[in-house]
Amino acid sequence: MELVVIFLLIWKFVESARILCIFQCPSYSHQIVFQPVLKELSSRGHKVTVVTPIPMKDASLMNLTEIDVSKSTYSVMQGSDYLNFLSKEQPVYLKIRKLFEWYHQIDEAVLSEEKFIHIYNGTSARFDLVIAQSFLSPTLHAVAAKFQVPLVGISSLGAYIGVHYAIGNPHPPSIYSESFLPYHGRMSFSERFKSTLYYIWSRYYLNFEALPKCDQIARKYLGNDIPYIQDIEKNMSLLLLTTNPILYEPRPNVPTVISMEQMHIKPVKPLPKDLKQFLDNAKEGVVYFSLGSNVKSINIPEKLRKVLIEAFAELPYKVLWKFEADDLPGKPENVLIGKWIPQQDVLAHPNVKVFVTQCGLQSVEEAVARGVPMVGMPFIADQTRNIQRLSEEGAAVGLEHTTLTKEEFKNAIFEVVNNPKYKQNVKRLGEIWVDHPLPSLNRTIWWIEYVIRHKGTKHLRSPTADVSWFEYLLIDVILVLLTIVSLALFILYVAIKFILRMIFGGRKLKQN
C-alpha cells in the first residue's frame, strides 16, 4: 500500500502539462532569452510546442515540437525599414506607430502559417497553458482565449507601457518613463511634461487605433468567439520580464509580474582554436567590437566605418570585430573580423579589456556577467537609456555615433581600459544582478508551473486591472471636488453680494 501511495505522489509530481509557446519576433537577441525556458520545461516532462522564427533543432529535447516561422517573419523584417524607424533620432510616437504596423504584419504572417493553422483550428489540439511573447502587440495572446487556457506573457525586455496599463501595474508618468523614452530616475519638469503628454497620447492610440486593429486581426484568423483583445491581455495570469535593478528603476509591481535576468548566460566553453590563439597572443589587450544581431556592423554608414577603422589602426591593442562580410576594405593589421563570434566565451577571456557595444540588453547582460566594461554606441530602441544608466554607474562610457570623431573614440577606449573604476563597477553590478534566493531560470519555471497547478492566477489579480484610466487618475473625484469648491465659492459670492446690497442699499434709502 505504501508503495502505491509513493508511486502516486511521484506520478503527480512529474505529471506533464501541454504548453503552447508563441515567440514571433524574428530577432536572435530576443529568442535566446526564451530558449532556456523551453529547454527546462521540456526536460521536466512537459510537452512543449513552440512557434518560433529561430528553432533550436535540438534532437535531445524529446518533448519539444518546433514550428518554424522564419521564412514568413524574416520576409516581413527584411521588407521593413525597422532600423530607421527605431533609431533614437525618430520621435517616440512615430516609433510606436511603425512598430505596431510591423507587428501587425508579423502576427498575420505567423497566423497564416499552415502548420500553426492546423494547431489553432484543429479539433484534436489541447493545451493547458499558452506562453506568448509580450512586447507591443497582444494579437497572438488571443490564442490562449481560443483554447480557453491561462496566458503567460514573456518579454526579452521590460514591459511596454500598454502591458502595464492592461494588467494594472502602477505606471505614473511622473516617475516611470516608457522604455522608448530616454528618461530615468528623478525627471526634470520638462521630462515629466513630455512623459505625461506621451502617457495621454499612448492611452488614446492604444484604445482607439492599435488595439482595435489587433482585435480585428485576431478575429480574422481565430474567429469571433473570443473576448475583446484588451480583455484577454487584462486576464494575463503571469508576466515574465527581463529586467534588473540597475537598468530599470525599482517599482511596486503587481504580484503577477516576475523579473528575470541573465537567462541566456551559459557556462564558459572553450574557444575555437584560431580565435583562442588570437586572444592568447594579445598580451597588450583586446578591444571586442560588436553591434549585435539587429544593427550589424555591415549596415553602419560609411563615414562611421571609416572613423572606426582609422581609430582601430592607431590603437596599441588587438581588435576583434564582428563584421558580417568576408572582407573589410581597409582593415588594419591589428584587426580580426568574423561573421559570427561566440560572444559570451570571448568576453570571458582575460585579455579582453573593453567591449564596444550598441548596448542592447542581452549584450549588456553578457558583458556584466563576464565582468567586461563597455564603450556604448546606441542606435535604436532602449539602447540610449541603457548606456545612460551604465555611464551613471561608472561601468561604461557613452558615445554619439552620428557625430563621432576618431579622437573621441580612441579617448573613450583608453579611458575605460586604463581607469580601473570601470572594471570594478562592472563586477559590482554583476554581483548585484545574480544575488537572488533562486537562480533566475528556477524562479521562472516555478511561476510557470504555479500557473499550471492553479489553472491561472485570478486570486492574484490586481484590482487596478479593472479600473479605468479615468478612475485610476481620480479625474472623476477631482472634477467633483472642483465642482463642490466652485459651487461653494459661487454661493459665497452671491451671499456676500446680497449682504452688501442689503447694507449699502439700506443706507441709501435712509439718506433719501
- The ranges assigned to domains in the chain are 16-261+438-466, 273-433, 474-506
CB atoms within 10 A of CB 491: 10
C-alpha cell at 372: 567586461
Q: Which CATH number fits domain 273-433: 3.40.50.970, 1.10.132.20, 3.30.450.40, 3.40.50.2000?
A: 3.40.50.2000
Q: What angle do CA 353, 358, 361 make, to 5 degrees?
A: 95
Instruction: Provide the pLDDT for residue 508.
Output: 57
**Domain 16-261+438-466 homologous superfamily, CATH:** Glycogen Phosphorylase B; (3.40.50.2000)
| Model pLDDT for residues 479-508, shown as the tens digit of each residue | 999 999 999 999 999 999 888 888 876 555
Pairing of strands 286-290, 335-338: unpaired
Q: Do the domains 16-261+438-466 and 273-433 sit in the same CATH topology, yes or no? A: yes
CB atoms within 10 A of CB 204: 10
The 3-state secondary structure of 99-136 reads HHHHHHHHHHHHHCCHHHHHHHCCCCCCCCEEEEECCC
Q: Name the residue type at position 105.
A: Q
Q: Are 338 and 320 in contact (CB under 8 A)?
A: yes
* Gap between the Cα atoms of 26 and 480, Å rounded: 49
Instruction: Provide the pLDDT for residue 512.
Output: 56
* Gap between the Cα atoms of 335 and 297, Å rounded: 14
| Model pLDDT for residues 47-69, shown as the tens digit of each residue | 999 999 999 998 888 899 999 99
CA distances from 27 to 9, 33, 106 (A): 42, 11, 12
Q: Are 367 and 355 in contact (CB under 8 A)?
A: yes
Q: Are 120 and 223 in contact (CB under 8 A)?
A: no
Instruction: Provide the pLDDT for residue 4.
Output: 42
Q: Give the residue ranges of DSSP H helices in 121-210.
A: 142-147, 161-167, 189-205
C-alpha cell at 171: 505606471
Nearest to 354 by CA among 384, 323, 311, 396: 396
Q: What angle do CA 348, 323, 379 make, to 5 degrees?
A: 85
Residues of the chain with pLDDT under 50: 1, 3-14
Instruction: Provide the pLDDT for residue 89.
Output: 67
Beta strands in 274-395 (DSSP E): 286-290, 318-322, 335-338, 352-357, 374-376
CA distances from 105 to 22, 55, 72, 80, 173 (A): 15, 20, 10, 10, 30
- Percent of the chain as helix, strand, coil, to the nearest 5: 50, 10, 35
* Gap between the Cα atoms of 290 and 287, Å rounded: 10
